[in-house]
Amino acid sequence: MMRRTAVWWTATGLALGMGVGGAGWAQAQAQAPAATSNGRVAIVDIQRILARSVAGAAAREQLEKDKAAMQRQLDGQKTELEKMRDELEKKGQLLSADARREKQDAMERKVRDVRRLVDDLQAQLQKKEDALLQKVLQDVAGLIQRLGKDRGFAVVLERQRAGVLYNSNDSDITDEVLKAYDDQTKKATK
């Protein structure tokens, strides 16, 4: 009984919303500027913007520097681990059972520490990458909105996420967004 009542209220709400809201929507569409009612659709390739823009290249360069520093840290730990392993192999036969077990335990702890370090460094790198890319995407989103509005597009879709199978060259505004973004980046750095 409770379920039927909820369904009835939902259906009634939808019907009222379509009746009253539908008229309101039609009225709003009639009053909308011609630029948004023409049905034009634009396509933007965000991946291309990230790959070719000045800010995208700077973000990738910063990530590569961070990655190299993390790799040096990891290499130091791996070298230390290899030394421990070599020492155990060379001197293991000469050590007492307790001393050998102690060295093996120390090496196992070191292996766990290195694995944990790898996981931590990967998480840090992913977080930095997300933050840098989010800033670039945030900046680009404003430009896309402005260009879409100025050029009179009703909708601007992202090429990969929208699953675009075909679009004409005149509907692709990626190069315009890329140029505007690079210009904005250059102005901000001056």
* 71-104 residue pLDDT tens: 999 999 999 999 989 988 888 788 888 988 998 9
C-alpha–C-alpha distance, residues 43 and 189, integer Å: 28
pLDDT at position 158 is 86
| Mean pLDDT computed over 118-129 | 93
pTM of the model: 0.59
C-alpha–C-alpha distance, residues 143 and 42, integer Å: 13
C-alpha–C-alpha distance, residues 78 and 109, integer Å: 13
Cβ 176 vs Cβ 146: under 8 Å:
no
- The model's confidence at residue 136, banded by pLDDT at 50, 70 and 90, is confident
